[in-house]
Structure 1
Amino acid sequence: MKESDTFAWIRSQPPSHLVFNRTVELRDSWGKRIAHEKTKGESLGGGRVYGQSLQGLTINLISENLERALIFQQVVLGADIVYHDNDFAAVRGYGAQWMIHADHTYDNHPLNTTLAQLAHRGGAVELRLHGCDPDMAQAHAIAQKFTVLQGAADKPHGLREAYLLDSDGYLWVPDVPVKHQP
Structure 2
Amino acid sequence: MAADEFGRSLPRGVGLNLLVPEIAETETFLREVLGANTIYADADFAAIEIAGSVLMLHADHSYADHDMAGVVAGVEARGTGVEIRIYGLDPDRVEARAAAVGHFVLAGSADKPHGLRECHIVGPSGYIFVPSRAIPRQDSPRAT
TM-score, normalised to structure 2, is 0.89
2: distance between equivalents of 1:136 and 1:56? 28
2:119 is aligned, of 155, 162, 180, to 162
SS of the aligned residue for 2:126 comes to: coil
Question: Sequence identity of aligned pairs in percent?
Answer: 40
Query: Which of residues 66, 80, 83 is equivalent to 1:109?
Result: 66
Cα shift readout 1:53-77 (whole Å, capped 9, x = no counterpart): 2232111011112111011101110
Aligned to 2:9: 53
Deviations 1:41-63 (A, max 9, x none): xxx2x211112222321110111
Distance 2:42 2:3 in 1: 12
Q: Deviations over 1:154-182 (max 9, x none)?
A: 11111100001111111100001113549
Correspondences of 1:82-121 after superposition (within 5 Å):
82-121=39-78
Query: Residue 130 of structure 1 is aligned with which of 76, 87, 92?
Result: 87
Aligned to 1:62: 19
CA distance in 2, matches of 1:119, 1:181: 43
Letter in 2 for 1:122: G
On the 8 A contact 2:23/2:42 being kept in 1, the answer is: no
| Letter in structure 2 aligned against 1:57 | V
Q: Does residue 172 in structure 1 map to residue 129 in structure 2?
A: yes
Distance in 1, matches of 2:7 and 2:51, equals 21
- Amino acid paired to 2:9: S
Partner residue in 1 for 2:32: 75
TM-score normalised over the length of structure 1: 0.71
In structure 1, distance between residues paired with 2:25 and 2:66: 23
TM-superposed CA distance for 1:95, in Å, is 1.7
Structure 1 counterpart of 2:106: 149
Q: Tell me, yes or no, if the aligned pair for 1:158 and 1:181 is still in contact at 8 Å.
A: no
TM-superposed CA distance for 1:94, in Å, is: 1.3
> Offset at 1:117?
4.3
Structure 2 unaligned segments of length 5 or more: list them.
140-144
Structure 1: how far apart are the matches of 2:110 and 2:23?
30
Q: The residue matched to 1:105 in structure 2 has which SS? A: helix
